[in-house]
Structures are given as structure tokens and as C-alpha cells.
Amino acid sequence: MRIALLAHLRHPVAPPFAGGMEAHAWALAEGLTARGHEVVLFAAGDSDPRFTIDPVIPLHHERSFPGLEHRGDAGLVAHLDAGYAAACDRIAAGGFDVLHNNSLSRLPLGRRRLVSVPTVTSLHVPPYDALRWFVQDSLVPGHRITVTSRSQRTAWWPEDVPPEVSVLHNGVDPAAWPFRDHGDGSAAWSGRIAPIKGTHLAIAAARRAGLPLTLFGPIEDRDYWDTRIAPQLGGPIRYGGHLSGDVLAGEIGRASVFLFTPCWDEPFGLVAIEAMACGVPVAGIALGAAREVVGEAGHLAPPDDVPALARAIGEALAIPRAVPRARVMRRFTRDLWLERCEALYVQAKRAVGG
């Protein structure tokens, strides 16, 4: 197939990834290309040059409009709308078999655009007002919508779920997150360092449980870092940097427990299955999709309950490392994910007679 992938534009689609959406788009482009598809990635122009890039905007917008995400800045909105509108026009005229829409833009969801090319839209966030109506109005024959978990599906459609909507769990390449049969007695945490990711809770619980903890990931919220995280570093609590690829997998894999601490309705939790693939059991917070993703591979605590999270660390340490690896191999591999994507592409094409 000739496939257009439309990405979110806040960060480049390139390692080291700023977050799960960038990792998702990169893995999708890399995986579909490896499976023989012709892929064009519509993303920020400074994304990974290994792919065929059709720039939606020249540079990711955190560089040109720093700190303005979610603030309703008129200049940023106009910049993104112009880029996405032009990109959607190029996709419509580009002879693509299907569009996989991973953006958070309303523009690819317009009915006029959806009738021009079969589309699969993957929702990576809980419902919010700027997008909710457009998603719900976009259910036309050639459009399929995916959510990353059952809990996210319930958030978007609390009652009747349209037949065009399905759960598409994220997946990882097990070879990129190799299994290790033992840990070194430490805890690891990975993700965007921001209040909604609960980095402070991981630190507090690790201290209470008496385990050294290493944090990995980009510093997204500088004030949060300066006031709540940096002052806690030292001794058993350290920051390992923003790593990617084999280096990050090696660091995560040597830990004995992974801390997964969402403070919002986490739609999935890609970092959790990355750790699980390495054989690292999870101690986490039961919000969003955490229970659905972690299952028997970890123990979860109620939100904002540091003592319970510390107890969950002790309970998770007792889980054999083969258990989390087996859960990933059964449910969350990249091949399973890509096969499901391909099936959705065929469904969308057939719905419009393609």
C-alpha cells in the first residue's frame, strides 16, 4: 500500500522521543516500511531523515512556539491549521491508498476530506472539547477510529460504542527491549518529566521502600523540575538523562522494578510495556489504562497514596521476570499491532469500494 502517516507536530518524530506519540509515529513508519509498504511521513520537517518526509511545518512547533502547547495561542493555532490544511490537500491529491491520522488536529476529520481518502484515526488522548465534536461527527464509511485501551474507549464513548471504533493496543519490538533474567535491586522510572506523569510520587515511594531510583526522560515542565524534582536528586535518587534506543533499554532492563505513576487518565502507558518487555515488573498507580496494561505483571496502588505505592513496589519485586515478558509477547508486540493496523487499512478501503 501507499500510506500517508500524519503526525503530531509539537516535537520531531525522531529519537530520543519526547513522548509516546512521537514513538508511536516513528515505530509505525519504520514498521510499515519494513513490511513492504510505501510510507510518506507528514510531520515536522526536522523529523527522522531516514523516512520520506513531507513537512507539514518546517520545524516542530515547540522550537518555533516554545511553551505554548495547550494555551490557545492564536499564532500557534494559525500556524498549525495552515500546515495541516495544506498537508491534507497534498494527501488527497497524492494517490494514497490510506491515511493513518495520528495528529490532534480537527482538520483531517472533516467529512469533505474523509471522502477523498480512506482514513484510520488513532486517538492518543482522553476526550477534550477542542476535538470531541469533530471526532464524533467523523463517523463515515471510509473512516476507522482506534483508541489505545478499553478505558480510553469508555472515556470517549461512555455508552454506545460506534462499530467504526476499536481498541488498538500499542506494541513494542521485543528485540529492541531485550529480556534480562535478573535485576540489580534498583527501581527505574521513564517518561516526560511533568506533573501529570507523577515523577514526584515515584521518588517518594522509592524512598519509602528503600530502593535507589533512576529517572529517565525529557524535562517537559521546567518549573516542576526546578521546584519538585531537582531538589530531591542525590544519593539514591538520580537523573539518568533523556536516552533512546539500546542505551535506554539497557538501563531499564537492569532495574528490578519499574515505577509507572500517572496522575491523569493515562490512555495507555507505552513506557510500562517497554519495561515489561525487558522482564521488569511494574509498581504503579491505578489510573486510566494502567490495570488493563499491567495486569499480572505488576501491582497497583490508589492515586496519591505513597505508602500504598511503596507496598506495591515490594509486591512487584516478588513477580518472576518471565511474567511481564510473557504478557508483552502475548498482547503487546509490534507485529500484532502492525497486523491490526493493516487490517484496519483494508477495512477502510473496502468501505469506500477500494
Per-residue pLDDT tens digits for 45-94: 999 999 999 999 999 988 887 776 767 778 888 999 999 999 999 999 99
Percent of the chain at pLDDT > 90 equals: 89
Q: Which domains does the chain have, with CATH numbers?
A: 2-171+333-351 (3.40.50.2000), 174-331 (3.40.50.2000)
Q: Count CA atoms within 13 Å of residue 339 on its CB side.
A: 6
Largest CA distance in the chain: 63
Q: What is the pLDDT of residue 286?
A: 97
Give the Cβ contact number of residue 150 at 10 Å: 14
What is the DSSP track for 249-272?
HHHHHT-SEEEE--SS--S--HHH
Q: Out of 121-130, 245-254, 317-326, pick the least confident.
A: 121-130
pLDDT of residue 128: 85
Please report the pLDDT score of residue 68 as a whole number.
65
The answer to whether the peptide bond before residue 324 is cis (omega within 30 degrees of 0) is no
Q: Which residues contact 218 (CB under 8 A, 6 or more apart)?
A: 16, 18, 19, 192, 193, 242
Gap between the Cα atoms of 88 and 113, Å rounded: 7
∠ Cα 39 45 50 (to 5°): 45
Distance separating alpha carbons of residues 201 and 313, to the nearest angstrom = 12
Q: Which residue is it, cell 519504520?
A: 30
DSSP character at residue 306: H
Decide: 130 and 106 in contact? Cβ < 8 Å: yes
Q: Is the pLDDT of residue 247 over 80?
A: yes
Give Rg (Cα) of the chain.
Answer: 20
Kindly report which listed range (17-31, 161-175, 268-282, 323-337) carries the lowest average pLDDT score.
Answer: 17-31
In this structure, of 36-40, 234-238, 241-245, 342-346, the range with the lowest mean pLDDT score is 241-245
Residues 6+ apart with CB under 8 A from 140: 111, 114, 115
